[in-house]
Amino acid sequence: MNAAEEKMRKRLEAAGLRPTRQRISLGEILFGRGDRHVSAEALHAEAAAAGETVSLATVYNTLRAFTGAGLVRELTIDANRVYFDTNIGAHHHFFDERNGALMDIPAELIKIDGVPTPPEGAEIEAIDVIVRVKTATS
């Protein structure tokens, strides 16, 4: 029995999710190597490349389940693709419009002042800072 697999199984149980074969596989890919930003499509491809059999629908289901359980966070950065971020703490992003690359910016680095009081009855959920960059054309 693989140790990483066992650990993932526990992590899913702790989050109240049934540790199915597919969720364990996807979890290992997502959380196995530091912070990641993935689209459903990309995760599906990675799973396939790793020899795991997981349908695209299940990848979507799983990512939604992980999001609901707080293991992962949805990012809105590109209008035609949902990204999921395995870093669930507060932080910001560099987004390279040329190639779609995303890079974390630790929350402590950026100081934001002067955010006005939200409209009557609204409460601030999150403050997202996206630094859009373009790499020079080669």
Q: Does 34 bind a copy of itself (CB under 8 A)?
A: no
Decide: 72 and 86 in contact? Cβ < 8 Å: yes
Q: Does 43 bind DNA (CB under 7 A)?
A: no
- The number of beta carbons lying within 10 Å of the beta carbon of residue 39 is 17
Which string of x and - marks every residue 47-86 that binds a copy of itself (by CB under 8 A)?
Answer: ---------------------------x-xxxxxxx----
Among 2, 4, 55, 89, binds DNA (CB under 7 A): 55
DSSP code, position 88: -
C-beta of 131: minimal distance to DNA in Å? 22
Task: Give whichever of 8 and 66 is closer to a copy of itself, judged by the CB atom.
Answer: 66
Q: Which stretch binds a copy of itself (CB under 8 A): 13-21, 25-33, 53-61, 90-98?
A: 90-98
Task: Give whichever of 60 and 94 is closer to DNA, judged by the CB atom.
Answer: 60
Residue 51 Cα to chain centre, angstroms: 22
Give the H/E segment covering residue 54: none
Among 3, 34, 49, 119, binds a copy of itself (CB under 8 A): 119
d(CA 94, CA 115): 21
Lookup: tokens for 114: 């002067």
d(CA 48, CA 58): 13
Task: Give whichever of 34 and 80 is closer to a copy of itself, judged by the CB atom.
Answer: 80
131: CB partners within 8 A, 6+ apart: 92, 93, 94, 95, 105
Residues found near a copy of itself in the complex (CB under 8 A): 74, 76-82, 94, 96-97, 103, 105, 109-116, 118-119, 121-136
